[in-house]
């Protein structure tokens, strides 16, 4: 790992603890700061309200809820979002189909490439 020019704050929203920790480790290995991980919408919204976010990885299904309200809020703030899910794009509401998506399980190389892409927009 080479140190990034800027340590960015990356929001991770994932309700499965092991996946959340694995994702967080991959982000931290690249020298960035993990915000969260948040297991639900309420926690994620609190984190967004209480600090700046440079990019976000959102699991779509969070127990009985979805991360779509989080994606909508981040989009309003101009924060790049990538969904992380086993679902296909056709199962996502149309207003979110233009968002990038990574399939589970996440490979480190895919996450790093996507993170670099999102951060180049900030």
* Structure confidence by residue, pLDDT tens digits, 84-111: 988 777 778 889 988 999 999 899 999 9
> Band of the pLDDT at 1, cuts 50, 70, 90?
very low
Q: Are 1 and 25 in contact (CB under 8 A)?
A: no
Residue 43 burial (C-beta neighbours within 10 Å; 0-12, 13-18, 19+): middle
Q: Which domains, from first to last, does the chain contain?
A: 9-119 (3.40.50.2300)
Bridge partners for 56 per DSSP? 11, 81
Task: Give the contacts of 4 (CB within 8 A, at least 6 positions apart).
Answer: 30, 31, 32, 119
Residues in the chain: 122
CB atoms within 10 A of CB 75: 16
Task: Give the contacts of 93 (CB within 8 A, at least 6 positions apart).
Answer: 68
Find the mean pLDDT for residues 55-73: 96
């Amino acid at each position: 790992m080479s140190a990034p020019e800027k340590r960015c704050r990356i929001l991770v929203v994932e309700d499965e603890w092991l996946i959340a920790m694995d994702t967080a480790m991959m982000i931290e290995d690249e020298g960035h700061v993990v915000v969260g991980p948040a297991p639900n919408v309420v926690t994620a919204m609190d984190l967004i309200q209480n600090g700046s976010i440079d990019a976000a990885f959102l699991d779509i299904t969070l127990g009985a809820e979805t991360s779509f309200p989080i994606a909508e809020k981040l989009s309003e703030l101009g924060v790049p979002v990538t969904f992380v899910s086993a679902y296909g794009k056709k199962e996502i509401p149309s207003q979110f189909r233009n968002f990038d998506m990574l399939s589970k399980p996440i490979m480190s190389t895919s996450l790093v490439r996507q993170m670099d892409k999102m951060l180049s927009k900030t």
